[in-house]
Structure 1
Amino acid sequence: MWNLVRSWYREKFSDPQAVTLAMILAVGFAVIYFYGPLITPLLVALVLAYMLEWPVAQMASRGIPRVIAASIVLMLFLGAMAMFMLIAVPQIWHQGESLARELPDMFAWLQAKVSTLPELYPELISQSQIDELMQTLNSRLLAWGQQVLQVSLGSLVNLVALAVYAILVPLLVFFFLKDKRELLKGFTRFVPDNRELAQKVWAEMNGQIVNYIRGKAIEILIIGVASYLTFWFMDLRYAALLGLAVGLSVLIPYIGATIVTIPVALVGLFQWGWTPQFGYLLLAYGIIQALDGNVLVPILFSEAVNLHPVAIIVAVLIFGGLWGFWGVFFAIPLATLVKAVVNSWPSSRTHQVET
């Protein structure tokens, strides 16, 4: 057994470049895992910097100094965010409050409808099953309400932190955009000299991350706006809130679309009942999801779609369990990183083929 482990170690870690890559990955994973909450502003700033890098690079390539390009792009982005906060957020907040007040009535109506199923289909559903289902839903709703209350109370404590983030994150984004090359050169001073393999993996992943973050921002905007306009045109209640939820659901591949279907269907069913209008809503929502998965995603993430859906779902579950929101957000790039490392990792067999 020991000989087997020793031979595996010699095969996989005989190259100093492999050791360097393993060390960099281990340190990076450990820092994010143990100090994730502390470096949240840094992660947010990095994501925004990646998203805004393309317009800054385009302006710099046309002779505009990078400091001026970074300032213009950041100011335009902050202006767009301020308009969103002033125009859309109050409406979404109001709709969220209305939905929270109406949820008990929705649940009571749903319970009354479900309770009639044993009479309609006695051979398929029994009254005991319905009672057990309703008891489970009641307990889940009670737990969900307690969690919402805890989050709302905790948000009062985090107001100071949010104010600090509102100042710190734009400053970090500005310096990341302005001093990109200097920061990368400074970081390489702490990396061992045997880093050719790490640089190869980083070059591949850097392009992946840029395309992924920019693509996700575009996907959220397109799906969110399309859903809102569809719900608004059909006169669905809470159109802005549900449109935002559908847009943000694309952050979690496959799973998010499944989860957000529940509130959309519940609101439509409570508003219209089993009518053709409800069927049109489900049809329109299904078309949006189909266009997202079969048209928009392949165009925006041509490299990411090479990953099997099972691999993407496993990556969401694993990295989301390790790092929460950021693990879910970067699940596809992290899965691609694992794939790139496995494909690039040297072994004794590759050295034998080269010689």
Structure 2
Amino acid sequence: MNTDPVPGTAEDYVRFHLREHWPWLLVGAGLLLLAVMLGPILMPFVVGAGLAYVGDPIVDRLQRLRLSRTAAVCVVFTALTLAGLAALLLLAPMVYHQFLALLRNIPDWLVWLQTQALPRLGVALPAGVQLDAEGLKAIVTQHWSEAGGFVQAAWERVSQSGKLLLITVANLLLIPVVSFYLLRDWDDLIAWIRGVIPPRYLPKVGELAGEADGVLGAFIRGQLSVMAALALYYAVALWAAGLDLALVVGLIVGLISFIPYLGSIVGVLIAVIAMLVQTQDPTSLIWIAVVFGIGQFLEGNVLTPWLVGDRIGLHPVAVIFAVMAGGQLFGFVGVLLALPVAAVLAVMMRHTKRQWLLSPLYRAGTPQSLPAAPAQPPASDEPTSPLP
């Protein structure tokens, strides 16, 4: 390896580091390309790693109670399984009954759409077309040849999707297996990563890993708490407002509330349509507006500041961009990884900025009196590094 000192000019500084580290840059680019190519099969491993990361602190606490690592992992998995089954047994019947009510109300919805909604919008159906059972039957009979072709094409598409369905089921079954083994061997994995880091970089990597671990842990715990609180609030509040589909709407809002404003927008649209079809009274929308107005206030002024706080430091625009970029690059896996990766990148960007302000490339050609970049004082509650 070349041991010449790093030159002082900016151009020589960049040339030196490119010459010294180009093989590792190629390795990094190759790994990134491999991750993109393997995107369709990464979902169970990404979700499993996320579950292992979340569960590791609990397992560590159980180990301090003199349980072995494997026994502690089994305890955590048993508790999570029982909690999931309890939630499923509690929520599934209610969601099922609400969907049955939704299906039973479809004829009334069609009548309301034809007799009230469309005329108020100035839309007129063609002569002889009725949105009821007999009218829909007549439409299907009249266009049976086209409908038959559509059904055939749909069936072919479903048949071709059989392999995709099997892959999806296999991936879902792999998640607990992957998370179990990763959680059991988490400490060994961290030790292996520490062992391949050059010793001269360990202090800096440990500092970055500690801060990223604190930010990421705060983000995951806080965001999951906010999502659960919003789902509970909207389900209860919309039920009190008289909406039959309150539970379904509440769960939808809670699940997608990690994207700023998207959960509320989608929830308002679904709740407004469902309430109008259910009551056929525009004044009932006042209660929907009240529910979502209070929900927005609670989310922005109570839940997010209290449960998430300001440690993550991600602007709402950055969150939206991260989710869209992750979905574009890696599909569903990218959406799952977008916000955790963005939170870690925010930590790295803060450190990179401090190094950039001190680098020869930034300071080349500037007056000698240029003051040194201020160093960020260490916080008293700086998280410890996850690297042992």
Task: Provide the TM-score with structure 1 as the length reference.
Answer: 0.74
CA displacement at 1:181 relative to structure 2: 1.1
The answer to whether structure 1 residue 317 and structure 2 residue 324 are counterparts is yes
Q: Which has the higher contact order (CA 8 A, sep 6+)?
A: 1
CA displacement at 1:183 relative to structure 2: 1.4
Using the alignment, how far apart are the partners of 1:296 and 1:229 within structure 2?
Answer: 17
Letter in 2 for 1:327: G
The answer to whether structure 1 residue 168 and structure 2 residue 168 are counterparts is no
Q: Contact 1:252/1:328 (CA < 8 Å) preserved in 2?
A: no
Cα distance change on mapping 1:257 and 1:234 into 2, 3 Å: closer
Task: Give a deviation string over 1:97-134, Cα, whole Å, max 9, x none.
Answer: 6546756864774574354356xxxxxxxx79xx9xxx
Moved more, 34-43 or 168-177: 168-177
Cα distance change on mapping 1:113 and 1:307 into 2, 3 Å: same
Q: Contact 1:215/1:300 (CA < 8 Å) preserved in 2?
A: yes
Which structure would you say has the larger Rg? 2
Letter in 1 for 2:120: T
Decide which of 37, 46, 49 is 1:34's aligned counterpart: 37
Name the counterpart of 1:228.
235
Using the alignment, how far apart are the partners of 1:154 and 1:83 within structure 2?
Answer: 35
Name the counterpart of 1:306.
313
Aligned pairs (5 A) from 1:112-191: 112-113=116-117, 115-117=119-121, 157=163, 160-189=166-195
Cα distance change on mapping 1:192 and 1:261 into 2, 3 Å: farther
Q: How many residues align?
A: 326
Q: Contact 1:205/1:337 (CA < 8 Å) preserved in 2?
A: yes
Name the counterpart of 1:211.
218
Letter in 1 for 2:209: W
Q: Contact 2:52/2:182 (CA < 8 Å) preserved in 1?
A: yes
Using the alignment, how far apart are the partners of 1:193 and 1:16 within structure 2?
Answer: 21
The answer to whether structure 1 residue 242 and structure 2 residue 249 are counterparts is yes
SS in 2 for 1:253: coil
The answer to whether structure 1 residue 331 and structure 2 residue 338 are counterparts is yes
Using the alignment, how far apart are the partners of 1:302 and 1:17 within structure 2?
Answer: 41
The answer to whether structure 1 residue 263 and structure 2 residue 257 are counterparts is no
Using the alignment, how far apart are the partners of 1:243 and 1:36 within structure 2?
Answer: 31
Q: Which runs of 5+ in 1 are unaligned?
A: 1-5, 119-126, 132-145
Task: Give a deviation string over 1:114-160, Cα, whole Å, max 9, x none.
Answer: 54356xxxxxxxx79xx9xxxxxxxxxxxxxx9x9999878765554
Percent sequence identity is 25
Cα distance change on mapping 1:114 and 1:59 into 2, 3 Å: same
Using the alignment, how far apart are the partners of 2:301 and 2:155 within structure 1?
Answer: 39
Q: Which is richer in helix?
A: 1
Aligned pairs (5 A) from 1:37-116: 37-93=40-96, 95-96=98-99, 99=102, 106=109, 109-110=112-113, 112-113=116-117, 115-116=119-120
Task: Provide the TM-score with structure 2 as the length reference.
Answer: 0.68
Using the alignment, how far apart are the partners of 1:264 and 1:295 within structure 2?
Answer: 23
Q: Which runs of 5+ in 2 are unaligned?
A: 1-8, 127-150, 364-371, 374-388
Using the alignment, how far apart are the partners of 2:106 and 2:17 within structure 1?
Answer: 61
CA displacement at 1:174 relative to structure 2: 2.0
SS in 1 for 2:61: helix
